[in-house]
Structure 1
Amino acid sequence: MPILSVAEQDQLREELRDVIEYRKSGLSLNWIVGCPLDCGYCVRHLFDNYEMKVPRALMSDDDAAKMLLGNHFFQPHITPIQLLNRATDPMLPRVKPHTLNMLRLLDEQKLTNHVLVISRWHIGPEDCAILNSFKNIRLTILVTNSGIDHKAIEPVDSNIAAKSLRTAFENAERYRVIHYWRPIVPGLNDSDEHLRRGLGLTNHAHATVFTGLFYKAQIQEYFKVHGLPEPYDEGPRRKILPETLEERILTAARTFGTGSPLFRKTSCAVTYAHEVADYNGHFGIRELCDICPVAQLKRCEDAWRRPNDQEVDEFARRLGGELVEINNRSIVVSGLSEQPRYLMQHSLGYQVHDVARPHIPNHHGRADLGWPTIKEPQ
């Protein structure tokens, strides 16, 4: 794959040129940008490169791997890693060889970190054979499937992802497979039939995550300009999944059953599939856990420890922030952006929240939109 010249890279937004970003589900490595799939709600709108349809590399695979392993946030065997989850699909024909090569480079370091690969494109048996060959990394393939039928919003046939999910699951030996049921959006894919189809795919995964839509201003504007049905009147910072929609999903799951359990959070599903405790420490937010399998609750309970106040205070200060308090749900800090907060969270296995952006109990870290009732935590 050709590498973008310095002049070409200078035309990209700074966020795209910054190859590594720490996100809640892991340290995200994005050394290839550009995607032809045209999903209307894609986060590429946020980086002004939605029209970049041909994937291009910012650097070589080797250089990207060195940058990741040398990143000041990276901790061997601890830091979860995500590959190419921001500006392309890692299983596109032009991108797939680089995805598989990066997995090989990480595995050869004998790292046992979680590595997440998220795709909605074709995964064949020959791909699964390679994915099974990695001996050290804890590899999870998350297959995105929304079931949205509106072709102007999602031109990609959802049957592609459904087939990939089945194939990946049938052939899984060393890696694990997540049904990434997202985004679920009122009026687009929340009919009873959509829910039945989504629940049916839980039979072809080790775990299932259901979640809503990022509808930030740039995506909202795209919907308006193209005359697409606008699901919400606002574009909040967090994902939107209204309370009534969540309850309908959970009710449908109780009615029709599931092949694999449902989870609200990605890391909960990933760690359940690998039979380890949640690296994000969600166990402190007990209302998140009311749908979790008993065995996973036990793993998380055994691993969950309230950290020492002095150690956390020193940790926060080293990162340039300040400890506000440690309670039974989370560490609360001030003056820290998301990336250092995630470093603390993954290092300590305990939720870390910004005092300026409080998490409302029972909203599950989602946007307040569609959640009119505030309940006290149990």
Structure 2
Amino acid sequence: MHLNQLPERAREVVEYRKSGLSLNHIQGCPLDCAYCVRHTYGLWDQRQPRALMTDAQAVDELVKHRYFRPNVTPIQLFNRATEPFLPKVRPHTFAVLEELDARDLTNHVLVITRHQLNQYDADRLNQLRHIKVTLLFTYSGIDRPEIEPYPSKVAAESLKLMSAPRLRNYRTILYWRPLVPGLNDTDEHLADARDLSEYADATVFTGLFYRDQIAQYYRSNGIPEPYALTARRKIVPEALEARVLAAFPNTVALFRKTSCAVSYVHGLPDYNGHYGIRELCDICPLSQLELCRAAHRVPTAVEVHDVASVLPEAADLKVVDITERAAVVSGLETEQPRYFLQHSLGFQVHDERHPHHEKRHGRADIGWTEKPA
């Protein structure tokens, strides 16, 4: 497969997403989860994993990218276009991880999977010495094959296996998603997830990323639409969140945000700087709150501009406001430079066009009854 054959959005092998700089030089996945983000990149029909370049070329492109900062920028591996532990993809996953590690980098590396892992995987991951690897096991408990053909029980068993070693250099997270009212939110579903969380180093819960392309796929295939509207953010209705929190005991390390959980399991403050949005933190372990509090520093407008000065696409950046919660900016055409600013500063950076409403936790307004503040 050649880059020029791909839809325009899919050609960007290195792309910034909120939880990290995403490397996707292997594209194509046969697992066919109906809600997959591949729909939004025009990659849904690419079911066989194919390499767009060698692993060495891909790592080189990543570390030379204008957004990459050694030992700072969080990295996501194959989280947009394939499953990292498919038999054909697994060798590429390890090649990238080992190349990054050989460079003595200490960046976070997030690997999101729902596939079957084995003892060989654990042993090989344990040989990594520098990068901070986190395995996020996508688990939903959805038992409808038209929505999720590859069963969640596989991810559950992989999580248990990979979490079992007492001494390990990687960390494990139960990535409980997507939670959808009426589909996988019964008391039994919640209890199953709670039980499974006991095996993981931490748990993150989140909702459905329901974009127009995904809604169109649902309609075309006769799958009942979970919501009447689509949204640019993930949907977690207020009542669903309340039931999740009620189902989990205080002893479980439960988080609303991926970066919070990833940072926690490595004993570090949140690299996305969520601490200023205090209603996000009301479920965090006290030890993590203290770490994040100590690291929390509100930047000045001059500092925001200084960090942005290395990016040509941030030439029109304006700092609209800075509070304890976030820096609000305008003048950025896309999300990617905003993520660069956020990770460089360790502080929330919001776009004026897309305000974060109080208690929504950066999610869609769908399913919330209170009028946004």
Q: When the two structures are superposed, what TM-score results if normalisation uses the length of structure 2? A: 0.96
* Whole-angstrom CA distance in 2 between matches of 1:225 and 1:284: 42
Task: Look up the match of 1:287.
Answer: 279
The amino acid that maps onto 2:148 is E
Correspondence 1:324 to 2:320: yes
8 A Cα contact 1:362 1:374, kept in partner: no
Cα distance in 1 for partners of 2:277, 2:203 equals 19
Aligned to 1:300: 292
Between 244-253 and 306-315, the greater mean CA deviation after superposition: 306-315
Look up the equivalent residue of 2:73 and give its one-letter code: T
In 2, Cα distance between the equivalents of 1:267 and 1:351?
12
Q: State the shift of 1:309 in Å.
A: 2.7
1:69 partnered with 2:63: yes
CA contact (8 A) 2:269 2:292 kept: yes
Tell me which residue corresponds to 2:177. 182
Are residue 47 (structure 1) and residue 41 (structure 2) matched?
Answer: yes
**Helix, strand or coil for the counterpart of 2:100?**
helix
Please state how far the C-alpha of 1:317 moved relative to its aligned partner. 5.6
Deviations 1:210-250 (A, max 9, x none): 00001101111111111112110001110001000000111
Give distance in 2, aligned partners of 1:314 and 1:149. 50
Give CA-to-partner distance per residue, 1:157-179, whole Å, 9 cap, x none.
Answer: 11110000001111361110000
Counterpart among 107, 117, 120 of residue 114 in structure 2: 120
Q: Hey, what's the Cα distance between the residues in 2 that align with 1:375 and 1:33?
A: 39
- Contact (CA 8 Å) 1:316, 1:333: kept in 2 or not? no
Q: 1:150 aligned to 141, 144, 154, which one? A: 144
Structure 2 counterparts to residues 357-376 of structure 1, below 5 A: 357-374=354-371
Find the counterpart in structure 1 of residue 340 from structure 2.
343
The residue identity in structure 1 corresponding to 2:243 is R
Q: CA deviation at 1:128?
A: 0.4
Give per-residue Cα distances to partners, 1:94-118, cap 9 Å, x unaligned. Answer: 0001001100000000000000000
Q: Could you state the TM-score of these two structures normalised by the residue count of structure 1?
A: 0.95
1:29-108 mapped onto 2 (5 Å cutoff): 29-108=23-102
1:140 paired with 2:148, answer no
Residue 223 (1) aligns with residue 218 (2): yes
More moved, 43-52 vs 145-154: 43-52
2:149, 2:245 → 1: CA distance? 28
CA contact under 8 A between 2:358 and 2:372: conserved in structure 1?
Answer: yes
Which residue number in structure 1 is paired with residue 201 of structure 2? Answer: 206
Counterpart residue number, 1:110? 104
Cα contact 1:146–1:183 (8 A) shared by 2: yes
Aligned residue in 2 for 1:163: 157
Match of 1:211, SS? strand
CA, structure 1 residues 141+302, in 2 after alignment: closer, same or farther (shift >3 Å)? same
Measured after TM superposition, the shift of residue 10 of structure 1 is 2.2
- SS of the aligned residue for 1:190 comes to coil
In the alignment, what sits opposite 1:268? Answer: 260
Question: Aligned letter for 2:364?
Answer: A
Q: Which runs of 5+ in 1 are unaligned?
A: none
The structure-2 alpha-carbon separation of the partners of 1:226 and 1:168, relative to structure 1 and needing over 3 Å to count, comes to same
Identity %: 54
Distance (Å, rounded) in 2 between the aligned partners of 1:38 and 1:28: 21
Matched position secondary structure for 2:244 = helix
For 2:248, what is the secondary structure of its paired residue?
helix
Deviation readout 1:38-74 (Å, 9 max, x if unpaired): 1010011112221211100010000000000100110
TM superposition shift of 1:316: 4.2
For structure 2, list consecutive stretches of 5 or more residues without a partner in the other structure: none
1:375 deviates by: 7.1
The whole-number CA distance in structure 2 between the counterparts of 1:335 and 1:375 is 24
Residue 16 of structure 2 is aligned to residue 22 of structure 1: yes
The 2-side partners of 1:332 and 1:217 are apart by 27
Alignment counterpart, residue 251 of structure 1, candidates 246, 253, 256: 246
Query: How many angstroms apart in 2 are the aligned matches of 1:166 and 1:114?
Result: 22
**Superposed CA offset, 1:106-133 (max 9, x none):** 0000000000000000111110000111
Pairwise CA RMSD = 1.2
CA separation in 1, counterparts of 2:72 and 2:83? 25
- Could you tell me how far apart the structure 1 residues matched to 2:265 and 2:102 are? 23
1:312 to 288, 301, 304: 304
CA positional deviation for 1:308:
2.4
